[in-house]
Amino acid sequence: MRSALSYFLLLPVFSSLLVASSGPDNRAVTDPKTLSSQSNPAAKPVPIEDLFMTRTVNAGGWSPDGQQIVFESNASGRTNIWKMHADGAAATQLTHSDDRQFAPVWSPDGKWIVYQQDVGGAEIWDLFAVPSEGGEPVNLTNTEKIAESSPLWSPDGSRIAIAYKPKESPITDIALLDWKKREVKKLTNEQEQDHRWTAAAWSRDGKLLLASRSNALFSDGDVYLIDTTTGNSRNLTAHSGQQLFTAHDLSPDGKLALISSNAQGGFFNVALLDVSNRKLRWVTDTQWDGQARAFSPNGKQFTYILNEDGRTRAFIGDVAGGTSIQLKMPEGVNGLADDPTPFSPDGSKLLMTHQSSRRPNDLWSYTIATGAAQQLTKSANPSVDASLLPQSQLVTYKSFDGTMISAFVWLPFNLKRDGSNPAIVLPHGGPTGQTPDTFSRTAAALATRGYICIAPNVRGSTGYGKKFQEMNIKDLGGGDLQDEVYAVKFLEASGYVDAKRVGITGGSYGGYMTLMAVGKTPDVWSAAVEQYGIINWLTMLQHEDAFLQQYEKSLLGDPEKDRKIYEDDSPLKYIRNEKAPLLVLQGENDPRVPKEEAEQVVEILKQEGRTVDVHYYPKEGHGFAKREDQIDALTRTTAWFDRYLKGSSAGAASHSSAAETTK
């Protein structure tokens, strides 16, 4: 129980800065005329099927003996659990399921792998265990109304810390699963509806658990040590005001916690926290986004990531002090596969991930002593020639009020700077999210078909500090929509784009932004594809997951006192002004943006006699997980834009009045 005094307690801080870098304030405005379409005589559209035969590889963890690696892959067309030798050889599929499987972790004795799986995309996760040498998976939790996820083994293998969320509750607690008895007992008992707990690391003796507790907006939170026998907890970062402290790992001797926090001016930095006296030693001093990862097995080193405008670099630091070392990886998005740690058991290697706009995500092994990096998985489809994919370009422009906005641009090959080319804006989800410089199948498909693509990180995005992230609170679809519109203005100023041939497409909050765009700024857009987006924040509040209800309230306020904000920030208010032909794509089992939102959009536009089409995907949740559905969705998207931005309807699309709906 936190005392009243702790709310006003300031953390004692001493500083030993290891890495300093610039930040968002140092960005320079990009001259649109510097965008240049490269010549490539071999350029051609990449088949969408080939893009999705390029595999998705995620997560990853070392076996206890360091000889094998477990990971997620959709090589079969479904995201299932695989393993391979530590040198990348002999990949084997361990599980086979139509449903999504995530977060595989080895048992300490190496005999089992535990992972989470839902049904039909509904996100009511169960925990399963499969023998590491192969065999029939066992459902450990088997509950229909409780989501159990994020397994974290105790050092002795007797218990597993898990995330525990009842379907109808907004609260995620930490629970302990007894491995032998298969019994689950809650460790935390959160009472505030807008808070949740996350387990980070066990102490070596299994008596304590390092954890984070944060609010629904992830704008305020603390790091705790929890007694795993009594459930008693100790707040290690009690503070005043809105600051977020997030736990990542506990040193082997239990004396230090590796954390991330935006306590330094609202920008995330990495720190070492002394557990006994709660003093912080800051590792980074940056206005970019620093995120801690894990301690080495001997506790002498630790890892962390710096996200600099959507591109990331990985570092290894020295607990004793000194200069951090950047890991020598190709430019792009570099991560650390930390399920539960990126360090090999002997501490000599790191399991890493790497991707870029031309290269899909893969697992890499990094030898710390030599800096040698070895690619382990080969996700790229050999039929997709990377040289035929336009390289992303990072640009920065000023929005309507002078706010600096970063964006990635994909400029097709062989374009003439004659103002004749179509363009498409790609808003991201969230809104507390970011478009990083990752491998985007949507951008690749569209750019190789002649569409200039731009993905802005608008106000409300993460990665640019607390102030920027909170600029859209109670103004959803306001300033952030204008940031999308000014992305179009930036492209028009390049001399490449025809202002009458501009489209927009996105999913989740990107789908909401698409609906807001075509309704609130109808003259900007000539075609749109909306994927699982929100039309009405008030109906969303009735049907969405309980935690997301709290998240929505943190963005828009009280639905009764602030009802006008909910109404003004809903596309429902503006959708009848829409002129652009609209395609709607929606999963039938979506717990985040339920099917009712899509149905409202289609019904309204049908009544208005507008050009609208819709397709619902059975047994799909928030986003499409099955390969055939992913292919179908992107095929429909490109065909829609081809028809209304390139075909005979282009330029006149905004005057179309034919209603066309399919299911």
Q: What pLDDT is attached to residue 505?
A: 98
Residue where the block lists tokens 């265990």: 129
652 or 466: whose pLDDT is higher? 466
Amino acid at position 608, single letter? E
pLDDT tens digits for range 258-309:
999 999 999 999 999 999 999 999 999 999 999 999 999 999 999 999 999 9
* Coil vs helix vs strand at 576: helix
pLDDT band at residue 662 using 50, 70 and 90 as cut-offs: very low
| 380 CA to centre of own chain | 21
Residues 6+ apart with CB under 8 A from 247: 198, 200, 201, 210, 211, 212, 223, 224, 257, 258, 259
300-343 pLDDT per residue, tens: 999 999 999 999 999 999 999 888 999 999 999 999 998 999 99
Q: What is the pLDDT of residues 591-629, one digit of tens each?
A: 999 999 999 999 999 999 999 999 999 999 999 999 999
pTM for the model: 0.94
- pLDDT per position as a tens digit, 99-133: 999 999 999 999 999 999 999 999 999 999 999 99
For residue range 631-651, list pLDDT tens digits in order.
999 999 999 999 999 985 554
Query: Residue range 399-427: average pLDDT?
Result: 98
Residue 16 phi, psi dihedral angles, 5° rounding = -140, 85
Confidence of residue 576 (pLDDT cuts 50, 70, 90): very high
Q: How do residues 18-63 score in pLDDT, each as one tens digit?
A: 445 578 998 999 999 999 999 999 999 999 999 999 999 999 999 9
- Residues 315/320/322/326 CA torsion (nearest 10 deg): -10
- Residue 460's H or E segment, with its range, is none
Average pLDDT over residues 527-531: 98
CATH class of 389-655: alpha beta
Tens digit of each residue's pLDDT (9 = 90 or more) over 468-477:
999 999 999 9
pLDDT of residue 650: 56
Does residue 8 carry a pLDDT above 50? no
For the cut 80, the answer to whether the pLDDT of residue 16 exceeds it is: no
Instruction: Tell me the per-residue pLDDT of 68-100, one tens digit each, with 9 for 90 and over.
Output: 999 999 999 999 999 999 999 999 999 999 999
| pLDDT, tens digit, 9 for 90 and up, residues 161-203 | 999 999 999 999 999 999 999 999 999 999 999 999 999 999 9
User: Which residues are CB-neighbours of 630 under 8 A, at least 6 positions away?
Assistant: 52, 441, 624
Check whether 5 has a pLDDT greater than 60.
Answer: no
pLDDT value at position 17? 42
> Taking a C-beta distance cutoff of 8 angstroms, is the pair 554, 430 a contact?
no
Tokens of 72: 């997620």
Mean pLDDT of the chain: 94
What would the two tokens of residue 245 be? 């402290």
Q: Is the pLDDT of residue 15 over 70?
A: no
Using DSSP, state whether 158 is helix, strand or coil. Answer: coil
pLDDT in tens, 540-571: 999 999 999 999 999 999 999 999 999 999 99
The pLDDT value recorded for residue 441 is 98
Phi (first) and psi of residue 242, to 5 degrees: -95, 105
